[in-house]
Amino acid sequence: MKILVLNSGSSSIKFKLYNMDDKSVLASGIIEEIGNKNSKAILKFSGKVVTKNLEIINHEAGTHILNQMLKDNGILDSLNDLDGIGHRIVHGGDKFKSSVIIDDEVIDIIKYLSPLAPLHNPAHLEGIKSAIKEAPNVPNVAVFDTVFHQTMPNYAYMYAIPYDLYKNYHVRKYGFHGTSHKYVSQEAAKFLNIDINKFNAISLHIGNGASITAIKNGKSIDTSMGITPLEGLMMGTRSGDIDPAAITYLAEVLDVRSKEIYKILNNKSGLLGICGTNDMREVRKMITQDNELAKLAYSMYMYRIIKYIGSYFAVLGRVDALIFTAGVGENDFELRDDICNKITHLGVLINKELNQKQSSDIRFITKENSPIKALVVPTDEELAIALDVKNLILKK
Ligand code: ADP
């Protein structure tokens, strides 16, 4: 069974092609700078990298080039030979409680939800339409970042604002990175040999974007991101939690519209805003050079994570595991060490050697006698999407 996973952004399409019989990756790559003169298509397969520099005017042209490149390199005769195409969709609002096979109604709802994710959903729709055009015989499946968090209770997802604003404008917490939180929690439960329906965990997806989720009996009961991916932890370029009054205040003193403030909070804040880089590796380098702002940025970043861990411990009661995943969570052993050493009173006893071991496998980082296990679980959102596509297609 061959499944293609597409992650369509406003100017790019990331792709990964799987042979689901053994979950191997047949090819992967990106069509980037779509709509720009510098656009190119990069295809990776069997240890090779093929790059095509050419003007790609839109997603439709990008998907066509992908089809050609897969054919020219003997990977696939045509996209029409696929068993399914999975699309990563950022916002499913409260309309989708699971992944779905895409039809006209699904397309309409994704479009309807676009105001909640203006940078993402319209681009995903371009990706979907292009895939349907290029491979009309292949079923398309939508897999939403929000779905895993649809199990949050209303008192966790509601904001304490006039109820009408929720009723009329859908203002509530939705949460994101759901595909990753679900995948790593399921992998962790399997690894620990605990029935997922009885598994309690706190999962930390810490990449450039970062979020933390409280998982009770295998289900999300709270998560740090909100109506958009801006709320919660301090991130690479996003502020995370901030007093909303700061926004109106800044709009006034800077004499700019709220859109500008939104850009500042999304693209110019977080690690970048405090010390000038959004890459944790750079922050580390700057800390070794005694850069005070890098030290401050790192302390703020870690402090926010610890506060959230504490609050999720409180709401969960029993925690079986703390899960670290994504770019920073999987690779930065110093951050894991610093966090775990600050929460020994909660029963997390880190094993320094295990924690420092470099590996791409799921692994313990706590001592054998640690009351709460901490694990590194490499995330694989594309594989999780491909698995959902496979399951839905087999059910059809
Ligand atoms: P995204 O949110 O874009 O999917 P990723 O999960 O790929 O992000 O994480 C990317 C981030 O991971 C980089 O910006 C970098 O800060 C961080 N990162 C990657 N490798 C390391 C490392 N060895 N040490 C510390 N941070 C790392």
Q: How many structural domains comprise the chain?
A: 2
Residues 121 and 199 in one domain: no
55 and 118 share one domain: yes
For residue 50, the domain's CATH number is 3.30.420.40
Identity of the amino acid at 394: L
Question: Is 236 close to ligand 1, i.e. is its CB under 6 Å away?
Answer: yes
Residue ranges making up the domain that contains 34 = 2-144
Would residue 166 count as lying in a domain?
Answer: no
Helices (H), the chain: 59-72, 104-112, 121-134, 154-157, 163-169, 178-192, 245-254, 258-267, 270-275, 280-288, 292-316, 326-331, 333-342, 352-356, 381-395
Rounded to whole angstroms, the Cα distance separating 388 from 34 reads: 28
- Residue 22 resides in a domain: yes
- Say whether both 130 and 244 belong to one domain: no
Give the distance (Å) from ligand 1 centre to CA of residue 68.
Answer: 32
Position 319 scores a pLDDT of: 98
Residues 30 and 139 in one domain: yes
Mutate to test the pocket of ligand 1, among 279, 286, 301, 325 (most ligand atoms within 8 A of CB): 279
> Residue of the nearest CA to atom 24 in ligand 1?
332
Q: Is 329 annotated as a binding residue?
A: yes
- Same domain membership, residue 126 and residue 15: yes
Q: Atom 12 of ligand 1 has which residue's CA nearest to it?
A: 327
Whether 332 is catalytic is no
User: Within 10 Å of residue 396's Cβ, how many Cβ atoms?
Assistant: 7
- Is 290 marked as a binding-site residue? no
Full DSSP string of 119-152: TTHHHHHHHHHHHHHH-TTS-EEEEESSGGGGGS
Cα dihedral across residues 189, 191, 195, 198: positive or negative: negative
Residue 367 lies in a domain: yes
Contact 186, 179 (CB under 8 A): no
Decide if 265 is inside a domain: yes
Task: Point out the domain boundary residue: 84, 115, 144.
Answer: 144
Active-site pick, 81, 145, 164, 255: 145
Query: Is 219 found in the same domain as 350?
Result: yes
Ligand 1 near 281 CB (within 6 A): yes
Tell me if 173 is assigned to some domain. Answer: no
Please indicate, yes or no, whether residues 253 and 119 belong to a single structural domain of this protein. no
Q: Which of 100, 95, 177 is nearest to 388 (CA)?
A: 100
Domain boundary among 114, 144, 174: 144
Atom of ligand 1 nearest to the CA of 235: 2
pLDDT 10s digits, 184-200 = 999 999 999 999 999 99
The CA-based angle 208-178-34, given to 5 degrees, is: 55
Q: Is the Cβ atom of 331 under 6 angstroms away from ligand 1?
A: yes
Residues 375 and 257 in one domain: yes
Ligand 1 centroid vs 321 CA: distance in angstroms?
A: 22
Question: Looking at residue 396, what is its pLDDT?
Answer: 80
Residue 177 counted as domain residue: no
Contacts of 381 (CB under 8 A, 6+ apart): 88, 179, 180, 183
Judge whether 328 is annotated as a binding position: yes
Q: How far is the CA of 280 from the centre of ligand 1 (A)?
A: 7
Ranges in the chain, pLDDT < 50: none
Among 85, 114, 144, the domain-final residue is 144
Note whether residue 311 is domain-resident: yes
Compute the distance from residue 303 Cα to the ligand 1 centre, in Å: 19
